Amino acid sequence: MKVLIVGSGGREHAIAHKIYQSPRLDKLYCAPGNAGIAEIAECVDIPVDDFDALVGFALEKKIDLTVIGPDDPLVSGIVDAFEAKGLRVFGPRKNAAIIEGSKAFSKNLMKKYNIPTAKYEVFEHPSQAIAYLKNCSYPLVLKADGLALGKGVLICNSHQEALEGVKAIMEDKQFGSAGDKLVIEQFLTGPEVSVLCFCDGTTIKPMVSAQDHKRAKDGDQGLNTGGMGTISPSPYYTKDIDEYCRRHIYKPVIAAMKKEGREFKGVLFVGLILTQDGPKVLEFNARFGDPETQVVLPRLKNDILDVFEACIDGSLDRIELEFEDNAAVCVILASFGYPEKYVKGLPIEGLERFKDKTDYFAFHAGTKRTGDSIVTNGGRVLGITAKGKDLKEARQKAYEATAWVDFANKYMRTDIGKVVELLP
């Protein structure tokens, strides 16, 4: 098979790595890719939002399957553009990707179909939101309705913070048009867990659980980021919780989307919070999570091309997902200053240490090749991932491997997966 991946981050490198293991693969392309992906795929310089060029490339090269990584092109309808030309593509159509593209849509869907989530209200005008805040208890959560690179969520501990948040999102447009609508919701407490699910429109099959670390600094302090590291499995996600979520969340949401005429095919990311009143949905995403993918896919035993095709063809019920009985931890090496200002173009050293190692991975996120050197090209630079027999061993190995690579202004959290230290 000839396969094209659309995207350029650590998620796409992890997807490429898993596809590269398939005996069915003949040729792998990635648009636009990065320096790490370029070691196993031919990278082509086409932006993820240039649908005409991407479709043209797929037709020219006779691509058998295209896999879409990022949220923006999915929400904008890239799958529809490919399907209109008779091309096979993995990911939800535009009318299904709205489950991520609009938080108001997803909240209203959950309310309509009794899927457990936080209480909320949706506002289209700042004045309405400000009036509503007068009678709220704190803390509460403000969410920009649209896509905001994982950063459009503000936790407000006081009325004043909430007023400032409404201004930032709806008036100052800190997140652009994503803030045209605002969701104000109840603040929930408990461990957060991410579960990625393969979907074929009718059948939904969850993968192993993961737990992200969103804040920039140790102790879950600092600004929200796209993710500073992740672990799999989550020690909080028990068999009983899994069974509850399958019955009350996963199966109901895929059925709800089908009933609404928005058949969902691809990966549904379910962001959960495990409250004292049971699991509730924080958010849905319409694609693989980043960096959750970097700890989930290395544990997948199936040929991922078989799974992708089953999702497209509606035959996922015939696939039995298999995962290694182990654990994985990913620590993000970022450029100091992320998620705000940071320097690009700094040489990276030591990547050769990862070659020919089966339990260690350096998934490239913000990198590019300049001459003979690989240099930093983003806020999140590398996802250093390791597998171990359990979370403690995987965490130890991941942090050991972070010392193998170096670049000026290298920054990481030192407490990714720290919860495992508390385990028996």
Q: Tens digits of per-residue pLDDT, 126-151? A: 999 999 999 899 999 999 999 887 67
Q: What is the domain partition of the chain in residue ranges?
A: 2-93, 119-186, 192-318, 327-422
Which letter, b or e, does each residue of 194-232 get, where b requires 16 or more Cβ atoms within 10 Å of its Cβ?
bbbbbbbbebbbbbbbbbbbbbbeeeeeeebbbbbbbbb
Decide: residue 168, CB within 10 A, 0-12 exposed, 13-18 middle, 19+ buried.
middle
Q: What pLDDT score was predicted for residue 152?
A: 84
Tell me the CATH number of domain 192-318, given options 3.30.1330.10, 3.40.1010.20, 2.30.30.230, 3.30.470.20. Answer: 3.30.470.20
Residue 326, sorted as left (phi over 0), alpha (psi -120 to 50) or beta, turns out to be: beta
pLDDT of residue 422: 59
Q: Which residues of the chain fall below pLDDT 70?
A: 150, 421-424
For the chain, the first-to-last Cα distance in angstroms comes to 46
Predicted local distance difference test score (pLDDT) of residue 343: 96
Q: Encode the chain in three state secondary structure.
A: CEEEEEECCHHHHHHHHHHHCCCCCCEEEEEECCCCHHHCCEECCCCCCCHHHHHHHHHHCCCCEEEECCHHHHHHCHHHHHHCCCCCEECCCHHHHHHHHCHHHHHHHHHHCCCCECCEEEECCHHHHHHHHCCCCCCEEEEECCCCCCCCEEEECCHHHHHHHHHHHHHCCCCHHHHHCEEEEECCCCCEEEEEEEEECCCEEEEEEEEECCEEEHHHEEEECCCCEEEECCCCCCHHHHHHHHHHHHHHHHHHHHHCCCCCEEEEEEEEEEECCEEEEEEEECCCCCCCHHHHHHHECCCHHHHHHHHHHCCHHHCCCCECCCEEEEEEEEECCCCCCCCCCCECECHHHHCCCCCEEEEECCEEEECCEEEECCCEEEEEEEEECCHHHHHHHHHHHHCCCECCCEECCCCCCHHHHHCC
Residue 421's pLDDT is what? 65
Question: Residue 262: what pLDDT?
Answer: 98
Domain 2-93 fold: Rossmann fold (3.40.50)
Spatial neighbors of 60 by CB under 8 A, at least 6 apart, are: none
**Which CATH number does 327-422 carry?**
3.90.600.10
State the Cα–Cα distance between residues 8 and 405, nearest whole angstrom: 20
**Structure token pair of residue 181:** 């609508």
The answer as to CATH 1.10.443.10 being correct for domain 119-186 is no
The answer to whether 253 touches 268, Cβ cutoff 8 Å, is yes
Q: Check if 2-93 and 192-318 are the same fold.
A: no
